[in-house]
């Protein structure tokens, strides 16, 4: 089968890409992550995915637009639902690319992270698969995440310290009770 793999970041994509190939699928990646902020972080992650593409000889589609304003329009006054909204946008885009490219199925490397909401991802992806007419291939890639992290580290690929958006960066580094470490 021809499968499109939405890639959130390099180290999360190693195991899913290899697993899909081991199952006999022809795999191509797509990088669309309008949630990644600031722009320099976006560039670091895009370059890491490019390095992954070279290391694994994984053909890629890079969606280069950086729709920062659209990201904030979608999130404003909905911050409590930001992850669900972000999943929706990225998975809808992946499903559209899969349909346009006549792929038989698509999936996402988000499913390799222990920090992501698999129930939401699966639900949203299945809705998008029905709406776009392209099968969603669900696999719990968490089982190979440590192996993927080791391989990406061995290749010298950048590994981020937060999910991507400014909210997740704040949540990762702000101490409990919202007190700043900066004095």
Residue 60's alpha-carbon distances to 57, 140, 142, 173, in angstroms, are 9, 22, 22, 32
pLDDT bucket at 46, cuts 50 / 70 / 90: very high
What are the backbone dihedrals phi and psi of residue 100, each rounded to the nearest 5 degrees, phi first? -60, -35
Q: What DSSP string describes the chain? A: -EEEEE-S-HHHHHHHHHHHHHTT-EEEEEE--TT--SHHHHHHHHHHHHHHHHHHT--EEE-----HHHHHHHHTT-GGGHHHHHHHHHHHHHHHHHHHTT-SEEEEGGGG-TTS-HHHHHHHHHHHHHHHT-EE----GGGGHHHHHHHHHHTT----SS-SSHHHHHHHHSPGGG--S--
Domain boundaries, the chain: 2-178
179: confidence class by pLDDT, cuts 50, 70, 90: low
Categorize the per-residue pLDDT at 181 as very low, low, confident or very high, splitting at 50, 70 and 90: low
pLDDT in tens, 109-130: 999 999 999 999 999 999 999 9
pLDDT tens readout for residues 17-36: 999 999 999 999 999 999 99
pLDDT at 180 over 70: no
pLDDT tens-digit profile of 57-81? 999 999 989 999 999 999 999 999 9
Q: What is the pLDDT of residue 174?
A: 87
Averaged over 38-51, what is the pLDDT?
97
Topology of domain 2-178, CATH? Rossmann fold (3.40.50)
């Amino acid at each position: 089968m021809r499968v499109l793999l939405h890639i959130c970041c390099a180290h999360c994509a190693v195991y899913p890409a290899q697993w899909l190939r081991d199952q006999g699928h022809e795999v191509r990646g797509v990088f669309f992550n309008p949630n990644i902020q600031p722009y320099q972080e976006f560039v670091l992650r895009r370059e890491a995915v490019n390095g992954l593409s070279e290391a694994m000889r994984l053909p890629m589609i890079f969606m280069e637009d950086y729709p920062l304003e659209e990201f904030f329009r979608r999130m404003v006054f909905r911050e409590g639902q930001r992850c669900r909204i972000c999943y929706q946008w990225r998975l809808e885009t992946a499903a559209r690319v899969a349909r346009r490219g006549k792929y038989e199925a698509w999936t996402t490397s988000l499913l390799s992270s222990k920090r992501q909401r698999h129930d939401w991802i699966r639900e949203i992806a299945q809705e998008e698969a029905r709406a776009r007419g392209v099968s969603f291939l669900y696999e719990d890639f968490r089982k190979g995440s440590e192996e993927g992290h080791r391989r990406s580290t061995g290749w010298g690929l950048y590994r981020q310290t937060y999910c991507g958006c400014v909210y997740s960066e704040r949540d990762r580094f702000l101490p409990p009770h919202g007190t700043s470490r900066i004095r």
